[in-house]
Amino acid sequence: MYKSRKVILIAPAFNEERKIGEVVRRTPRDIVDTVLVVDDGSTDRTAAVAREHGAEVISFDCVRGVGCAIRAGYGEARRRGFDIAVTIAGNNKDAPEEITRLLDPICDQACDFVMGSRFLSGGQYGGDMPAYRKAATRLHPVLTGFFCGKRLTESTNGFRALRLPVLDDPRIRLNQQWLEGYQLEVYLLMKILKLGYRTAEVPVSKIYPPRAIGNTKIRPVIDWLHMLTPILIVGFGIDRAFRTRSGESLRRASAG
């Protein structure tokens, strides 16, 4: 079933030399054709460790943001003709063994996008999860779902699968400059929901590593504000206004 589709696993990573090897090692290679680690300007051995465990690596020369890393991964996947891209955290808090849960709705039910949810029955979360994250990850899907007209249990989980032809839709514009950080994942989810693509949520595990070795790169205030930004821009249709103004400017320039 899976081998009729070319599947790539994209793992954005920044200074994860102590964890990225486990992400690559645990990935089921009978299902995933290529593991691509996008090294976001790490100053440690993240890239080297990933290669030692059999991953391909794209390395940035400076820190550009997780959105840029995911965007680069999607771009590479599309250039090489992959059918499905799965994204996963580079710090080993997701379970690569559960990738099949994300792929099943795409392969069996013709879904376009599948979100992993720790809050569904059969999912779990634990480990050294910061207290503020517990509240934020519950509130964010309520707000996102309100603006998209759909009940959600997760909206910030980066463990997800996407049918790559969806990104050919000109209404989904991942190359916008404001999508360089954690905004991109929320923006993509909201656009897919509002445009009517077929989606699903599936239960997954998210176990945070010990704080002593680094359990998250998300900054408590700045990055959560970044995750709220797409709710305002997409939810209130501001992105459509940007496109309309840009289109009108181009038409006037062409006419002149």
Percentage of residues in the chain having pLDDT higher than 70? 85
Mean local confidence (pLDDT), 139-157: 95
Q: Quote the strand ranges of 26-149, DSSP E.
A: 34-39, 56-59, 84-87, 113-117, 124-127
Please report the pLDDT score of residue 213 as a whole number.
61
Q: Could you give the C-alpha distances from 177 to 60, 71, 122, 137, 144, in angstroms and in order?
A: 17, 11, 37, 25, 21
Could you tell me the residue range of the domain that residue 16 belongs to? 2-255
178-208 residues labelled b (16+ CB within 10 A) or e (exposed): ebbbbbbbbbbbbbbbbeebebbbbbbbbbb
Count of positions (residues) in the chain: 256
Mean local confidence (pLDDT), 243-248: 48
Predicted structure pTM score = 0.88
- The mean-pLDDT minimum among 1-15, 32-46, 69-83, 124-138 falls in 124-138
According to DSSP, the β-strands at 160-163 and 7-13 are unpaired
**8/3 Cα distance (integer angstroms):** 12
Q: Give the CATH number of the domain where residue 177 resides.
A: 3.90.550.10
Q: Please indicate whether residue 255 or residue 190 has the higher confidence score (pLDDT).
A: 190
Number of domains in the chain: 1
Give the chain's mean pLDDT.
Answer: 89
Q: pLDDT tens across 2-26, in order? A: 668 999 999 999 999 999 999 999 9
